[in-house]
Amino acid sequence: MLQFNPQQIKEIRTRVSVAQVQKLIEENHTVLENDVLVSPDARATWNLYYYCDEHGVRLEWDRHNSKEHCCPIDGKVFTGEPYDGAWWRWLNTLNSRACYQLGLLWQLTQERHYFEKVRTILLQYAHYYPDYEVHGGIPYNGPGKANAQTLCEANCHLDFARGYDFISDDLDAADKTKIERQLLREGAEFLMEHRSEQLHNHEMKINATIGVIGLLLDDPAYLDFALHSKYGLHYQLDNGCLGEGMWFEGSIHYHYYALQAVLAYEKIACGTVHSVASNNNLIKMLKFPLNLILGHGNFPRMNDCIAGQEKLNHTHIFEFANKQFPCLKFQQVLQSIYSKQERDNLDALLYGVDSLDSVERLQCQTVHAPYSGYTLGSDNIHNNAFLLKHAPYGGEHDHYDRLGLILVRNGKEILPDLGTTGYGAHLHYHYYKNSATHNTLVVNQSNQSPNAPKLLNFSQEKDHLLVDSIADWREAQPSVDSHVIEQWDSASYKDIVFRRVVLWFGNLAIEINRVHNPNRQQLDLTYHVRGEHILSLDWVPVDNPLSGALTIMRSCHRKDSTQYQVMRYQISGESDFSQTIATDSPCELLIGEAPDNPATKNMAYLLVRSRERNFSSLVMHDLSQDLCHQLSNVRWEGEESVYFDVRSEDEVRQVKYSLSAGTVTVTLLTHAQVESHAN
């Protein structure tokens, strides 16, 4: 066995608790309590088809019913494809995971029935696997054999391989030969044939699996391919890690998914000549997203992140990282995780230090990462934050939301990033992934074409922070060394220049937006608020006039020819929230309701619409609990400067932002001083 030497496994046996053993048994209840079931042919498709189209939630999987699949929200039953094939994909997950976890139970307890269950699963797959037909058709992905994409194949084979390692010393020669030749080698050869020539989290997992099989079979060709070939692990780390340490795809979920793959390999390779720990980008990638923790204690749900994947619960990453690469940051993240749960997981048992030092938990903090492309401003007194995304386009798992904005008030995302749902569900491509469902600029209700925004200015003073960035579609469209499907409208965004300035005062976020629109396209500065509109009587109800993702918006109302508007929202369990919008020319306002994530409830949308050749807006988001701020005296001086006052009960902030010089001046005055100057 390579994963642990005899002394290590002996120590693990002395530390394992009854509860940990019981948890492993419960997690594998379906496999333990039923006869082994393995598909005799290549009928398994994709687990992300196993979602309700209407609600965007995962269907309920029943081991004894492969033909009927139930929505947990309303009980609707789905039949036929793609649900039946996805059912079998789920079964492959249970079987492969059981190989690893029941193999571990065999090592922990030496109870023979765990060994026999793993042996039976591996031998059945070894029997069928060589004859499985290659099949696929999943967007962006290579094919599979037991499954319908190369990534799923790698996931299963990683657990097959690790499970085999746990029982191999006790197998007879015939069983070992059959499993190694007909399953592990067949799997490794298939993965090598179908690994794509691209930067991608999939390729990280495929490489890691080939590498693990190479370690177990002591095959230098597999190891060289996995580690040192173009698009191998080192190439992925060297070229996929941007700037301060963000994975190029821009999804924190896929950032750590890629690292999970590397660490699954490294947990076996550490201390050997095949370790990847010498790659400096490994540590950078482990650390960087921790800087983007928001006030609610989790990551932002940026890009392709299914609801729940934003949770900070990565014990499988940080128990091992803290032991192998000890640092305060990893201790803090573990402290944060274990403030919400007991430290009784397998990763702590197998890979963690004996005890953790008492340190402060991770907190939301102001971070400016110009190369990765994120600026986060925080106010820990009120638990408020903003995040501006000025990152370059990241390929398949990115969303079309350059200069997208997230706002957190009192620890809750009030202007959220919705993330997405299962990729096989209708709402993924037709709703969540679109520009129109983000807090950004939308042209002709179409998706932004790829862009690499430029940072114009960043400054941080005692009482405020400012970030100024621009997305310029006059420049050449950036490319990414990763497969993509064109789902944007380059013609609509041709010659558009979108500049967004965020001025942050902690309990107040102010945007200055300027759009150069020479072709007089339809511009929609879009905002969605996790709340309900509070409407005055002067809003006119209208039928939904929108195309694209927001055709599902309901309860639409409109206001025409306005330049100043205060929006109020009722927030569940919280005080009301307000936005004040001031524009340099008359605009149309359109509001309505469309799905949150999950799509079991709606949220409030606001679109600020114009067709002007040059359009400017100033939007004040009042994050205070008493809505004490008033925006007044907004004055635009062409493309040079904007002036405005922000009044509160105690003082008046007089603000000037020089758009040409990129400098801000904030003057604090009492109300009496303002009146005196006016007279």
Q: How confident is the model at residue 56 (pLDDT cuts 50, 70, 90)?
A: confident
441-443/523-529 β-pairing: antiparallel
Q: 64 is written with which tokens?
A: 């004894």
What is the predicted pLDDT for the residue at 650?
83
Query: Cα separation of 158 and 204, whole Å?
Result: 12
Specify burial of residue 349 (Cβ count, 10 A radius: 0-12, 13-18, 19+): middle
- In the chain, what percentage of residues exceed pLDDT 70? 99
Percentages (nearest 5) of helix, strand, coil residues in the chain: 35, 25, 40
Q: How many CB atoms lie within 10 A of CB 335?
A: 16
Per the CB < 8 A criterion, the answer to whether 595 and 427 are in contact is: yes
Q: Collapse the DSSP code of 401 into the 3-class scheme (helix H, G, I; strand E, B; otherwise coil) and give the result.
A: coil
Mean pLDDT computed over 23-28: 96
Tell me if 14 sits within 8 A of 6, measured CB to CB: no
Q: Report helix, strand or coil for 171.
A: coil
Helices marked H in 200-301: 201-217, 220-228, 233-240, 252-269, 280-287
Q: Of 523, 665, 518, 667, which Cα lies nearest the Cα of 583?
A: 523
Express each pLDDT in 610-648 by its tens digit: 999 999 999 999 999 887 899 999 999 988 899 999 998
Residue 574 contacts by C-beta under 8 Å, 6 or more apart in sequence?
409, 410, 412
Supply the mean pLDDT for the chain: 95
Q: Rounded CA gap, 160 and 372, in Å? A: 36
3-state secondary structure string across 31-51: HHCCCCCCCCCCCCCCHHHCE
**Model pLDDT, residue 603:** 98
* Three-state secondary-structure class, residue 441: strand
pTM as predicted: 0.93
Report pLDDT for 529.
98
Instruction: Please give the average per-residue pLDDT across 335-344, as a whole number.
Output: 94
Q: How buried is residue 256: exposed, middle or buried, by Cβ count under 10 Å (0-12/13-18/19+)?
A: buried
What local confidence, expressed as pLDDT, does residue 677 receive?
63
pLDDT at residue 678 tops 70: no
CB atoms under 10 Å from CB of 670, counted, come to: 11
Q: Are strands 641-647 and 652-658 parallel, antiparallel or unpaired?
A: antiparallel
**Predicted confidence (pLDDT) at residue 676 exceeds the cutoff of 90:** no
Distance CA 59, CA 595 (A): 19
Cross-strand bridge partners of residue 504: 465, 509
| Under 8 Å between Cβ of 557 and 592 | yes
* Residue 166 parent element (H or E): helix 150-167
pLDDT, tens digit (0-9, with 9 covering 90-100), for 348-377? 999 999 999 999 889 899 999 999 999 999
Is residue 243 left, alpha or beta, with left meaning phi > 0 and alpha meaning psi from -120 to 50?
A: left
* Length, in residues, of the chain: 679
What confidence category does residue 591 fall into, taking pLDDT thresholds of 50, 70 and 90?
Answer: very high
Q: Which of 251, 574, 627 is nearest to 417 (CA)?
A: 251
- Give which of 115, 1, 3, 2 is closest to 351, Cα–Cα: 3
Kindly report, residue by residue over 83-139, the tens digit of the pLDDT: 999 999 999 999 999 999 999 999 999 999 999 999 999 999 999 999 999 999 888
Per-residue pLDDT for 679 more than 70? no
Helices 201-217 and 186-194 pack at an angle, to 10 degrees, of 150
Q: What is the pLDDT of residue 674?
A: 72
| Residue 263 buriedness (CB in 10 A; 0-12 / 13-18 / 19+) | buried
Query: CA-to-CA distance for 569 and 534, rounded, in angstroms?
Result: 5
Confidence of residue 196 (pLDDT cuts 50, 70, 90): very high
What share of the chain has pLDDT > 90, as a percent? 91
Q: What is the pLDDT of residue 671?
A: 74
The model's pLDDT over 509-548, given as tens digits with 9 standing for 90+, comes to: 999 999 999 999 999 999 999 999 999 999 999 999 999 9
